Structure 1
Amino acid sequence: MSVLASGTPMCDRPETAEPVPKSALGRAHRLFSCFHYDETRLTLSELSRRSGLPLSTTHRMVTEMVRLGMLDRDRDDRLCIGVNLWRLGLLAGTYGIQRVALPYMQDLYATTGLPIHLAIPQGEQTTVVESLRPLEQRLERPRIGQHDPMHVVGNGMAILAFSDPPLQQRYLARLACTEAEDVRRELARTRTIGYSVSTRRTGPSIAIGAPVLDRGGRPLAAISIIVPPGSAVTPYGHLMRDTAHAVQRMAWDQALV
């Protein structure tokens, strides 16, 4: 799903900044990007308005997508993501690491009762691919599919700390000087202790993340936990580091990397 750096779905904006794509594939992507957690079912007119596509074009494309099982209609004739699109999504490379990590995340959640998240790197952002949290926090950030700049979230800092130096330098060069120095010090500490500690996005709660690395030492993903303000960080840090290492070993054993 296309989102802004803040995690806002592209089609939530009053007017779409990007020009309407000329290709059929680009227009299809524009339509799919209009669905998100808060609104999983949309009418044809809502899809047309949010995507910026003419109603006639939207109707024609939606009819074909329904026929192919990429979209479905509910009893009220609203549209939602179809089973065939979901099935294709399971073939994404992220599904392997998600499948391996989930049992360990469930153990962490059962032990701590605290929010547990799994994120993967995508360019200079992270994308959440799995999330476990208490029921009362089900509507809070982050959500599965959400993008975030690496330096503002715990799992992103864990990923960035173990990324290739050229990527780190490019990333830091885009930050203000003072912030870049702060992030650089945090990255060095993360590499030393094996886990990140961040309050940028979660404050006053604390995000603690640990990387899952491939055989070459590059980050495949990161697991993070959100702990209450004032919590002792070190025990949770060791717990996250040990969990990430267990996921890493299983990923290697299953030849995911």
Structure 2
Amino acid sequence: MARSSGGRSALSRVMQVFTAFDVDAVFLNISQLSVRSGLPLATTHRIVAEMEDFGLLERQPDKTYRLGVRLWEIACRTPGALGLREIAMPHLQSVQSRVRQHTQLGILEGQEVLFLERLSARDAVVNVTLVGGRLPLHASSSGLVLLAHADDEFQHDVFSGELFRYTEQTVQSPDALRRLLQKIRRDGFAIGNGFIHPDARGIAVPVRGVNDTIVAGLSVVVPNDDAPTLPLVRLLQGASAAITQDLLAAYTPPNDPQSAPGGRFRQLVSSSADSMEYLPTAPRPTRAGR
């Protein structure tokens, strides 16, 4: 791959532009992109123009840029995070219909939990989770169930880093966090009372995938009050088990009786039975450059 005089590959410079955007910086002009990416202004101009040509960035009337729909289109073709979200969505909706607060799905990404989905009621308790946003593992219930099932070396790295304090209740010491993770592994769920906001309680369970690996944390955020938590834990555990069954069916070889219908689409799409049966044979036009 071609490299610049500074030793950075063309792809790495494109990634620097991508990562300049964030959940609180969705529209950026060229100067802001240059500063946030660390690239020279002239280089930023050139790369942004090419990314716009490919639809990876979209130029706005005020001369700012946002991430392009083409990027979302490509991302939707992965059976990874977005495939997991699609398969889990009916079960998130089922939980949300009962809870009527916040229901969310998060995965481990670096030393943070990355949220793939969040369903919320308009009158729900305060919640800082954003779709595509991240939170520290030690502070969120989803992050805690993921961290509790991580290996010792990974946990040690988290213990050695900053344990950011949101409230008086946020876990602050490595020893306290270690004890909490042991409890989560023993109980099979995590509860965070006021860890991120005093009014909010997070409750999470792990979601298992192929080979019994932990692939996600399924959680609700509800008022931090005297309401019993066990019914919500049971609700989440039932939904988690259902997601696991659907994941196993999606990844079972197509000729297996337990395999889900849908052929090559079953790891990307969750739809009606008739739709899944029809998708593999549906006619599709050929698109140039796709």
Tell me the TM-score range normalised by the shorter chain.
0.7 to 0.9
Secondary structure at 1:207 match in 2:
strand
CA RMSD of aligned residues (A): 2.7
What is the Cα deviation at residue 201 of structure 1? 2.1
Matching residue's letter, 1:141: V
Equivalent position of 1:240 in the other structure: 236
Matching residue's letter, 2:27: R
Aligned with residue 162 of structure 1, among 138, 145, 149: 149
Sequence identity of aligned pairs in percent? 27
Aligned with residue 81 of structure 1, among 67, 70, 76: 67
Equivalent position of 1:129 in the other structure: 116
CA offset digits 1:183-231 (Å, max 9, x no partner): 2332222223321111322434211000011243321001110111122
Q: How does 1:4-153 map to 2 (within 5 A)?
A: 22-92=8-78, 93-135=80-122, 140-153=127-140
Q: How does 1:200-239 map to 2 (within 5 A)?
A: 200-230=195-225, 231-239=227-235
CA offset digits 1:80-106 (Å, max 9, x no partner): 211221122223411111111111111
What is the Cα deviation at residue 124 of structure 1? 3.1
Pick closer, same or farther for the CA change 1:174–1:107 going to 2, 3 Å.
same
CA offset digits 1:102-145 (Å, max 9, x no partner): 11111211221111111111233221111112346799511122
Aligned with residue 187 of structure 1, among 181, 187, 210: 181
Paired residues of 1:21 and 1:27 also in contact (CA < 8 A): no
What is the Cα deviation at residue 65 of structure 1? 0.8
CA offset digits 1:140-160 (Å, max 9, x no partner): 511122233322110111112
What is the Cα deviation at residue 44 of structure 1? 2.2
Paired residues of 2:125 and 2:200 also in contact (CA < 8 A): no
Q: Name the TM-score, length of structure 2 as normaliser.
A: 0.72
What is the Cα deviation at residue 63 of structure 1? 1.1
Unaligned 5+ runs, structure 1: 1-19
Give the Cα–Cα distance (whole angstroms) in 1 for the partners of residues 160 and 36 of structure 2.
34
Matching residue's letter, 2:183: R
Secondary structure at 2:216 match in 1:
strand
Pick closer, same or farther for the CA change 1:183–1:38 going to 2, 3 Å.
closer
Q: Name the TM-score, length of structure 1 as normaliser.
A: 0.81
Pick closer, same or farther for the CA change 1:136–1:59 going to 2, 3 Å.
farther
Higher Rg of the two aligned structures: 2
Unaligned 5+ runs, structure 2: 1-5, 164-170, 252-266, 268-290
Give the Cα–Cα distance (whole angstroms) in 2 for the partners of residues 48 and 175 of structure 1.
28
Pick closer, same or farther for the CA change 1:37–1:146 going to 2, 3 Å.
closer
Equivalent position of 1:198 in the other structure: 192
What is the Cα deviation at residue 41 of structure 1? 2.3
Give the Cα–Cα distance (whole angstroms) in 2 for the partners of residues 172 and 45 of structure 1.
37
What is the Cα deviation at residue 70 of structure 1? 0.9
Paired residues of 2:206 and 2:218 also in contact (CA < 8 A): yes
Give the Cα–Cα distance (whole angstroms) in 2 for the partners of residues 90 and 169 of structure 1.
34
Give the Cα–Cα distance (whole angstroms) in 2 for the partners of residues 121 and 144 of structure 1.
14
